[in-house]
Structure 1
Amino acid sequence: MSTRARTYDAQVLQRARVSDHLVRLVLGGPGLADFASTGVPDEWVGLVVPGQFQSRYYTVRDWSGGELTLDVVVHDVGLVTEWAARDITGESVTVTEPKGSFAMPPGAGWLILVGDLTAMPAMARITTSVDVPVHVWAEVPDELGDYLAAYSSVHWMAPPADGVSRLAEAVEQIEWPGGDGYFWMAGESAQMRAIRKHLMREKRLPSTA
């Protein structure tokens, strides 16, 4: 039997442009009084905006003081893009209860993060939650040099002109640190499948990793 995710009503308290393709929304209001973070740094929520009935999922950039911060990627077209492109302060939205998947083992000695612009909020939060060396491969169209923790080793990649991500190719060239560590990725589904296939074949990771 499936369990319907709990939902919360919220209002847009603030809207700010982080970069050309990233908009920050700060949500609050009494409807979030019972909202509780999972504590998992890549946790995400479903967001339903006015006039829509389907959730779009976004990483929680921050949850503190009863306010929920989401950094939303805006594209050339899209339902949430059109909504977030204007002044939406004061409008009502619905968010679902958060879920997360990041589970770095206690004995890990390093962390590798790989992702595109949609992964940046999660990678930013992850980098501030661990105390091991962090190596990041980020394929983003914007200048986000101050977005990640300063102590992270970041390899910035500009998206190719043909629009086809090169993240899988980048992972194939990684010189992996010694010892045990943890690998996390997020991005376009075809690239994630290619990366997973490479890791299973070359690094002997299990199919459930």
Structure 2
Amino acid sequence: MESKSITREVQRVRYELKFRDVKVAAVRATGANMLSVTFHGDALEDFTSLSFDDHVKFVFPDASGASVRRDYTPIGHDAQRKELVLEFALHAEGAATDWARQAQVGMDAVIAGPRGSMVVPLDYDWHLLAGDLSSLPAITRRLQELPAGAKVLAVIEASDGDIREFDTKADLDVKWVKSGEELVAALRALALPAGEGYVWAAGEAVVMKAVRAVLADDKQHPREAMRVSAYWKRGASDFHEKLD
């Protein structure tokens, strides 16, 4: 199979790293295993995030009082209200999960970053979004940002309680699956549309390695128009790795 050429370019933007003191302003369940937390603080007035898969460092104390840092996608920002929304995937255990389950209005935290953005053009002929629960915030934000008529294919691993309706103007075709194995199989069976497309995927490290192989090797999708990230690794904490 011949390698496809691309004409669009991803723009990389860097920011000065800032640590911002914030307080919890609201807590809302967005699924059986997802929790949305809104933070407020004067330091958020100049917060900037230009890409749907940006990452901030969420800094908080664990049960022993030790400082913990974890990566999260800023899913919403309101400069006038000085608010920032992060969405937490609630795992069986972990310091961030423990914090999120106990989050209450008025609690203190620190948000650092993002260090930069990878701005993906909106006008690709099509977009493919794939991942597990940890990818839902980025996918949700991307679908909010894409214009009317944008063609989007999505394959998402989630339990029944975490399946959601997306707020989007895009022409969305979404397939929900129950496991990483089903996610990989669905992508392998998927016929990519004609034209120039951008592929984005994120999730567990072993699954994302298999996803990358399907997309890059089986589908021969150009690396320049693809980003596959390991957001987490089973059995490991504070893990993040870009595979493509």
Please give the secondary structure, in 1, of the residue aligned with 2:118.
Answer: coil
Aligned to 1:28: 40
Q: Does 1:189 align with 2:200?
A: no
Segment drifting more, 95-104 vs 54-63: 95-104
Residues 52 and 153 of structure 1: CA distance in aligned 2, closer, same or farther (over 3 Å): farther
Task: Tell me, yes or no, if structure 1 residue 58 matches structure 2 residue 75.
Answer: no
Cα-Cα RMSD:
2.2
Task: Assess, with a 3 A threshold, how the Cα gap between structure 1 residues 171 and 104 changes in structure 2: closer, same or farther.
Answer: farther
Conserved 8 A contact 2:28-2:37: yes
Aligned match of 2:5 = none
1:207: Cα distance to partner? 5.1
User: 36, 45, 49: which one pairs with 2:56?
Assistant: 45
Q: Does 1:100 align with 2:100?
A: no
Q: How does 1:81-120 map to 2 (within 5 A)?
A: 81-98=97-114, 99-104=116-121, 106=123, 108-120=124-136
Which of 29, 32, 35 is the equivalent residue of 1:17? 29
Q: Runs of 5+ in structure 2 lacking a partner?
A: 1-14, 227-244
Q: Which runs of no fewer than 5 residues in structure 1 stay unpaired?
A: none
More strand by share: 2
Residues 149/33 of structure 1: CA separation in 2 closer, same or farther (3 Å cut)? closer
Asked if the contact 2:122–2:146 (Cα under 8 Å) also holds between the matched residues in 1, the reply is no
Q: What TM-score, normalized by structure 2, do the two folds share?
A: 0.75
User: One-letter code of the match for 2:37?
Assistant: L
How many residues align? The count is 201
CA 1:25–1:165: 2 relative to 1, 3 Å: farther
State whether structure 2 residue 148 is matched by structure 1 residue 136: no
Q: Is the 8 A contact 1:102 1:184 kept in 2?
A: no
Do the aligned partners of 1:73 and 1:118 also contact (CA within 8 Å) in 2?
Answer: yes
Distance 1:188 1:178 in 2: 29
Q: Helix, strand or coil for the counterpart of 1:125?
A: helix
Once the two structures are superposed, the pairs formed by residues 139-154 of structure 1 within 5 Å of their partners are: 139-141=157-159, 142-149=161-168, 151-154=171-174
The letter of the residue matching 2:25 is L
Rounded to whole Å, the distance in 1 between the matches of 2:182 and 2:204 is 11
**Aligned pair in 2 of structure 1 residues 16, 52: CA closer, same or farther (>3 Å)?**
farther
Cα shift at 1:186: 0.7
Distance 2:162 2:68 in 1: 31
Structure 2 CA distance for partners of 1:52 and 1:104, relative to 1, 3 Å: farther
Deviation at 1:134, TM superposition (A): 0.8
Aligned pair in 2 of structure 1 residues 23, 157: CA closer, same or farther (>3 Å)? same
Inter-partner Cα distance in structure 2 for 1:140 and 1:148:
18
Structure 1 length-normalised TM:
0.86
Whether the aligned pair in 1 keeps the contact of 2:49 and 2:74 (CA below 8 Å) is no
Counterpart-to-counterpart distance in 2, 1:45 and 1:31: 14
Deviations 1:164-209 (A, max 9, x none): 5432222111111111111111111111111212222223345564
